[in-house]
Amino acid sequence: MGLPALASVLIVMLLDDLGYIDGAAPWHFLLAFAAFEIVALGFRERMQEGTLPSERLRDANFRRIVREAKHLAKEATRLIRKYGHRLEDEARVDLEDTLGALRSSLRERRKGPDARDAIVKTFRRLDLKVEEHLAFARKSTMREYAESIGVAVLVALFLRAFVVEAFKIPSGSMIPTLEVGDHIFVNKFIYGLQLPFTVTKFGQHIREPRRGEVVVFVYPGDRSKDFIKRIVGIEGDEIMLRGTQLYVNRRPVAHCRVGPYELVDVEGPDRRVEREPADLYVERSGEFTYLTAYARAQPDEEHGPWRVGRDRVFVMGDNRDNSHDSRFWGAVPLSYIKGRALFVWWSNGGPGGIRWDRLGRWITGDPVSPGGLDGPIGDCMNDLDGRPVESR
């Protein structure tokens, strides 16, 4: 029952992220669990009907009986401990003796056919004894199904609220690092746990956000929306942008021009493809190296400076001229940050459909060429590695 429950959680979360269902509701988990359980039961029946060779069939049936016998032994132990005082002494002793015989036969199960027969016989005998004396306390099949579904839903909600959550990239503000249709996982506990549906943090956090990290946060202008951007400034920093050169505390952030690049963005419900010429750069902030794109920046054009306040971070999109970020609405409070982006687990968008080359890509790893630019990006990486630390 555990595998159908786990499969139901995974498939419902996947369908939710892909947009095939509008929000994961309990009945979605129930329907998925019922479907997987029917498939599992059908597979078991086919095995019992002899669809496998006889030797493998016997082994499979025996393994199933051993699993069920272990489950029955745990159930009987729990029921005797909880309801044994309601039984006659003779019935209680009979149950305990049969339970002991089943445990003994399970320990001896590898000693040949006789041991296997002993397991089957004691298993059936204990099942009859439990049904005879403790039927009032046994769980019905529907109750077991309901509990399995409930546990699966609670585990999924807990993981989503406090550990890892899946997000879908809806816009091109983080191109070329993230593209429209990328599905990512986000680490939600590294900066501290956040109460669901609030911006209140509690408990200990592992560390503070760092320059260069990609974070998901609650948009300060509309707390019903989530944004994803890159941190370029932390508390106390002064941020300025001059053309394509980013400055932090009046020092230029190390960057290197890769060359011309075509921005390909997918916009609107009709998934219209927009193309725009741009310049691609490798930028290094702190311990992180990443790609940025500038489509309309002029060398003498200045923006800022902006001063990052207490308990806040300054964020920008990697698609610098096509990003609605802290340059327009200010720094992000630390309490608004939901977590750090980890990796792309699914990517589907644009005219090409599924982007297989993006699956499993780490978001804060070394820059990955968007296509045909491996050499220039490698040259830029070597150039940045060779520069003195002071110039970075």
Catalytic residue ranges: 173, 229
Helices 54-83, 26-48: inter-axial angle, 10-degree rounding: 130
Inter-residue contact 179 to 194 (CB < 8 Å): no
Cβ-based neighbours of 274, under 8 Å, separated by 6 or more: 263, 264, 265, 266, 267
Long-range pairs of 301-305 with CB within 8 A, sequence gap ≥ 24: 301/242, 301/243, 302/240, 302/241, 302/242, 303/240, 303/241, 303/242, 303/327, 304/238, 304/239, 304/240, 304/241, 304/247, 305/238, 305/239, 305/240, 305/247
The two beta strands, 226-233 and 214-218, are: antiparallel
Inter-residue contact 79 to 137 (CB < 8 Å): yes
Q: How far is CA 380 from CA 43, 101, 281, 298, 377, in A?
A: 56, 72, 8, 21, 5
Tokens 């419900």 correspond to 269
Cβ-based neighbours of 327, under 8 Å, separated by 6 or more: 241, 303, 304, 306, 316
Inter-residue contact 33 to 8 (CB < 8 Å): yes
User: What tokens appear for 198 in the block?
Assistant: 């609030």
User: What tokens appear for 57 in the block?
Assistant: 């069939």
Cβ-based neighbours of 270, under 8 Å, separated by 6 or more: none
Task: Determine the Cα–Cα distance for residues 228 and 178; give it in Å rounded to an integer.
Answer: 10
Chain CA centroid to CA 170, Å: 18
